[in-house]
Structure 1
């Protein structure tokens, strides 16, 4: 066994989203992010420390794989060192640079939190999935099952809001391990962020998934697995 892929799902996501991911020689650990918010509030910095502590307690090489919100949380773990041989980040946002933009995002996310906590769950899911950035794609796991975690989902819109995140642009150079930064070819916003972020990484590599939107591992699964395998063979094989 070469090591373990620690996979972090996105907002309104599930650990089960990663069930289709397999790579010869690698174990896959599908991390349930909601358990970190089970009891109380947790900042992104606190999450990074908690994840690194868990990872250090397990044997063997480890690679962090994060999608969207999970990739943003992964950045916080990477910036605190951690036991990571490499990282694969799909569609993260290093942060909003203007305070007015962060305020507006916190306000918008507070509305999402309220709807997730006390609104009609199906309506909440429909609204979430109809966002233009998601492009009408979907996950195989049933989001109706997440209703049991609606308190934690709501809390994530507050604690892990992009508006609560300080800009990380000037700190990307602190990440020492190899990083494969992925974006969908059709995902204009996150492609632009990726093209700006990767040159700041000491060992950064940009990959644009052909024909894909934001949800790269699920919109282009074969291409993603091939690129993931090729990257890991070079940097952590």
Structure 2
């Protein structure tokens, strides 16, 4: 069972969240002890529904909620933002508080992972534990932003069908080294049909603005301020290299490390079973259940 919950962001923005299942399977109805909360934060260009398989298995033991972050999915997309780190973190804090999830376990992918660890650093009272999936702490540099600008311009919009979306992002996209159906499915999930075909739910210009907040700045300081148990997960073929991942674990006061074979940046899409196997021991250790 999935239900939508409308929340209010820190500056009055309407945020859409999605709760998966009302009652964890191993907790009897009427149990006075509420299920521990988990908030899932997607990456840049993502949406809450990307977490559906993860949230469904989590809902057997936890209250699992996925958030559409500002500018994404069904949440508001203000033309002028702000799309700053402060805004994303404030939204996540507002979601935790309004949903009554604290102390929460935060699970973030890419940009969502950065938001999660910054929230954990700033509001340790709200966060029980943290999972960082394939997000670097170091700055990417200006060249990376230029590459993304060129990549966005290469999109053959509008797509005539969702099959065309899946094929282009999974096979024809110049960034794809070998066919990747999971990548095609990921991008098909963030398209909406209009009069002339299929276009993204987000503004590519606003995505570039959001991305500036980690392209030009490193975030090692905030990572070192995280005091809760933290798992750093990387796909072996992802964007987070092993050396940097292990340095992130070293910087974290209570850091752990896991890697998922045969997975790229979209770890939870590429290898859902490997992703689940990486998370389960950590969650069992930090859960109050």
Q: Please report the TM-score for the alignment, with normalisation by the length of structure 2.
A: 0.68
1:69 to 108, 111, 115: 111
**Number of residue pairs matched by the alignment:** 230
Contact 1:158 1:164 in 2 (8 A): no
Structure 1 132/78 Cα, relative in aligned 2: closer, same or farther at 3 Å? farther
**Farther off after superposition, 13-22 or 137-146:** 137-146
Structure 1 200/236 Cα, relative in aligned 2: closer, same or farther at 3 Å? same
Q: Which has the higher strand share?
A: 2
Give 1:131's aligned residue.
Answer: 175
Give 1:228's aligned residue.
Answer: 279
**Farther off after superposition, 29-38 or 204-213:** 29-38
Which ranges in structure 1 are unaligned for 5 or more consecutive residues? none
Equivalent residues in 2 for 1:65-214, closer than 5 Å: 65-81=107-123, 83-96=126-139, 102-112=141-151, 120-122=157-159, 126=168, 130-132=174-176, 136-139=180-183, 140=185, 142-143=188-189, 145-146=191-192, 147=199, 149-151=201-203, 153-161=204-212, 164-187=215-238, 189-214=240-265
Provide, for residues 193-220 of structure 1, a one-character-per-residue CA deviation record: whole Å limited to 9, x for no partner: 2122110001110001133332222222
Give structure 1 regions of 4+ aligned residues with deviation exceeding 6 angstroms.
none
Q: Give the C-alpha shift of residue 2 in structure 1.
A: 2.8
Structure 1 46/14 Cα, relative in aligned 2: closer, same or farther at 3 Å? closer
Q: Give the C-alpha shift of residue 18 in structure 1.
A: 1.1
Give 2:84's aligned residue.
Answer: 43
Which ranges in structure 2 are unaligned for 5 or more consecutive residues? 1-33, 193-198
The RMSD of aligned alpha carbons is 3.0
Q: Give the C-alpha shift of residue 228 in structure 1.
A: 1.9
Structure 1 127/186 Cα, relative in aligned 2: closer, same or farther at 3 Å? closer
Structure 1 70/121 Cα, relative in aligned 2: closer, same or farther at 3 Å? farther
Aligned equivalents of 2:148, 2:272: Cα separation in 1: 29
Q: Give the C-alpha shift of residue 236 in structure 1.
A: 2.4
Q: Secondary structure at the match of 1:182?
A: strand
Give 1:5's aligned residue.
Answer: 38
Give 2:65's aligned residue.
Answer: 29
Aligned equivalents of 1:135, 1:72: Cα separation in 2: 28
Q: Please report the TM-score for the alignment, with normalisation by the length of structure 1.
A: 0.81
Give 2:13's aligned residue.
Answer: none
Provide, for residues 129-162 of structure 1, a one-character-per-residue CA deviation record: whole Å limited to 9, x for no partner: 55258972515453462525232x4302222336
Q: Secondary structure at the match of 2:123?
A: coil
Aligned equivalents of 1:163, 1:89: Cα separation in 2: 15
Contact 1:67 1:91 in 2 (8 A): yes
Structure 1 127/25 Cα, relative in aligned 2: closer, same or farther at 3 Å? closer
Structure 1 44/114 Cα, relative in aligned 2: closer, same or farther at 3 Å? farther
Please say which structure displays the higher CA radius of gyration: 2
Aligned equivalents of 1:159, 1:207: Cα separation in 2: 27
Contact 2:234 2:258 in 1 (8 A): yes
Contact 1:134 1:214 in 2 (8 A): no
Aligned equivalents of 1:108, 1:201: Cα separation in 2: 31
